[in-house]
Amino acid sequence: MARWNATAFMGALSIIGVGLFTTPVTAATKSDVASNDWAFEMPRGESLYVRHSLYWVKPDFGQKYFTMQSDGNLVLYAYKYHGSTEKKVCWESGTRGAGARATYQNDGNFVIYVGVHAVWSSNTAGKPGASVSLDGYGPSVDLNVGFMRLVENCVW
């Protein structure tokens, strides 16, 4: 179980996924979401496990989920609108393997492991930045590893 807490950036935060926090996190109300852009970040030394997600929500512009699927594929989804089931893939790692996890290592590299084997890497070791984050304004969201933009302009 991860031991980190969400950090606010331009508004309130919430997390999807069982066991991401050791302390409870309260989801923002719909009115909170309407007036704020949301950003999520995962600090160095922490991991996304199967069925854990970071997400960004703005009701007028939909929502974006960055999630480790049970098949081992790490995917950034854009949903048509907040609460919609219609979605598209903005980016995926293309990895496979039961029990996969995505770890933002202390050296700055973001790596997907299946068991003890690294199966994908952002190649950002030694680069500046303190978190993997979803940052967005309006309908567009960027996925950043430290200060490197991995995905730009994820929109429906």
Domain presence at residue 105: yes
Domain presence at residue 90: yes
Domain presence at residue 92: yes
CB 75 within 8 A of CB 53: no
Query: For the chain, how many structural domains are there in total?
Result: 1
Domain presence at residue 5: no
CB 124 within 8 A of CB 145: yes
Q: Could you tell me which residue, 12 or 68, shows the higher pLDDT? A: 68
Domain presence at residue 78: yes
Domain presence at residue 13: no
> Region 23-49: what's the mean pLDDT?
55
Residue 112 lies in domain: 30-154
Burial environment of residue 62 by CB neighbours within 10 A (0 to 12, 13 to 18, 19 or more): buried
Interatomic CA distance for residues 134 and 136, integer angstroms: 7
CATH code: domain of residue 95: 2.90.10.10
Strands in 74-79's sheet, in edge-to-edge order, are 53-58, 62-68, 74-79, 87-92
Q: Say if residue 108's pLDDT is above 80.
A: yes
Q: For 69-102, write each residue's pLDDT tens digit.
A: 999 999 999 888 777 888 999 999 999 999 999 9
Q: Note the helical H segments in 38-79.
A: none
Domain presence at residue 148: yes
Q: Could you tell me which residue, 84 or 16, shows the higher pLDDT? A: 84
CB 10 within 8 A of CB 36: yes
Closest Cα partner for 6 from 49, 51, 52, 54? 54
Interatomic CA distance for residues 125 and 81, integer angstroms: 35
Domain presence at residue 106: yes
In 3-state terms, what secondary structure has residue 30?
A: helix
Q: How high is the pLDDT of residue 52?
A: 87
How many residues does the structure list for the chain? Answer: 156
